[in-house]
Amino acid sequence: DGGITQSPKYLFRKEGQNVTLSCEQNLNHDAMYWYRQDPGQGLRLIYYSQIVNDFQKGDIAEGYSVSREKKESFPLTVTSAQKNPTAFYLCASSKIPGTSGGYNEQFFGPGTRLTVL
Amino acid sequence: GDSVTQMEGPVTLSEEAFLTINCTYTATGYPSLFWYVQYPGEGLQLLLKATKADDKGSNKGFEATYRKETTSFHLEKGSVQVSDSAVYFCALSENAYSGAGSYQLTFGKGTKLSVIP
């Protein structure tokens, strides 16, 4: 079955540590996204990538970094510079907007819950 | 910029009650509209979508009609079940065909629905 996988499901980090969240998709989608979800605040875009070896900052990119070396993979690193990293992180993917009826239908993974100890 | 406003939650209903979750939007172009559902501890799933005015999206007994004149996309279900308990997100995407193609989804803050037996 095609879909998006995220690992780990739960992640604990000590202050000052960098951690990397994994996201893999086998939907053959070109675009991939990372969102952060906090209670009562909906989803906020961290980074997105339209194509391999290219990515753009979203609304809250500070303290995060990404890479896109393969079409299927879009890992997110939460650095020690992120002052409040405890949150639920969601990865998504989509076709290129304009190739699916003009709209951007995104498919989401199951999420990773990161807690800073 | 674009924005989505949803009714504040939480919403608590008895089983078989009628559900309405209000959603209004502001957009510079001619957006496509979505409802996503998030079950506890999981990622988001697309519930339904509409890409042009007067379109009605429907799925699993849920419906929403794209109303351009009122910039609304209210979610309705005639008879809710306990299994419908989740958080519901309204979202929009600028339509690539309008020349304002965007990789970004703009989400509302979500409405938590609890259905009691």
The confidence score (pLDDT) of residue A1 equals 63
Backbone angles phi, psi at A84, to 5 degrees: -140, 75
Respond yes or no on whether the N-terminal peptide bond of residue B117 is cis (omega within 30° of 0): no
Which pLDDT belongs to residue A101? 58
Q: Name B37's Cβ contacts closer than 8 Å, sequence gap at least 6.
A: B44, B45, B47, B86, B87, B88, B89
Nearest residue in chain B measured CA to CA from A110: B43
Query: Cα A53 vs. chain centroid, distance in angstroms?
Result: 15
3-state secondary structure of B81: coil
Residues of B in contact with A90 (CB under 8 A): 43-44
Cα separation, A34 vs A48, in Å, equals 6
Which residues of chain B have a CB within 8 Å of the CB of A102?
32, 51, 95-98, 101
Indicate which of B97, B104, B112 best probes the interface with A, i.e. most A CBs within 10 Å of its own CB. B104
CA distance B1 to A37: 20
3-state SS track over chain A: CCCEEEECCEEEECCCCCEEEEEEECCCCCEEEEEEECCCCCEEEEEEEEECCEEEECCCCCCEEECCCECCECCEEECCCCCCCCEEEEEEEECCCCCCCCCCCCEECCCEEEEEC
- Nearest-Cα distance to chain A for B117, in Å, is 25
- Kindly tell me if the per-residue pLDDT of B99 is higher than 50: no
Distance from the A32 Cα atom to the nearest Cα atom in chain B, whole angstroms: 9
Q: A98 vs A49, A86, B37, B98, B113, CA distance in Å? A: 16, 35, 24, 10, 33
pLDDT digits (tens, 9 = 90+) for A82-95: 889 999 999 999 98
The predicted structure's pLDDT at residue A42: 84
Distance CA B110, CA B112 (A): 7
Cβ-based contacts of A31 with chain B (< 8 Å): 103
How many A/B residue pairs have CB atoms within 8 Å? 75
Q: Which residues of A touch B95 (CB under 8 A)?
A: 102-103
Tens digits of per-residue pLDDT, B27-80? 877 788 999 999 988 899 999 999 889 999 999 999 999 999 999 999 999 999
Q: What is the pLDDT of residue A11?
A: 93
**Would you list which residues of chain A are within 8 Å, Cβ to Cβ, of chain B?**
4, 6, 31, 33, 40-43, 45, 48, 50, 56, 58, 90, 92, 94, 97-98, 101-111
Least confident of A53-67, B12-26, B98-112: B98-112
* pLDDT value of position B102: 64
Mean pLDDT by 10 residues, chain A (117 residues): 89 91 95 91 91 93 97 96 92 80 81 93
Is B87 a residue whose pLDDT tops 60?
Answer: yes
Task: Classify strands B111-116 and B11-14 as parallel, antiparallel or unpaired.
Answer: parallel
Q: Which residues of A touch B42 (CB under 8 A)?
A: 110-111
Please enumerate in sequence order all residues whose Cβ is within 8 A of that of A39, keeping only pairs 6 or more positions apart, or say none: none
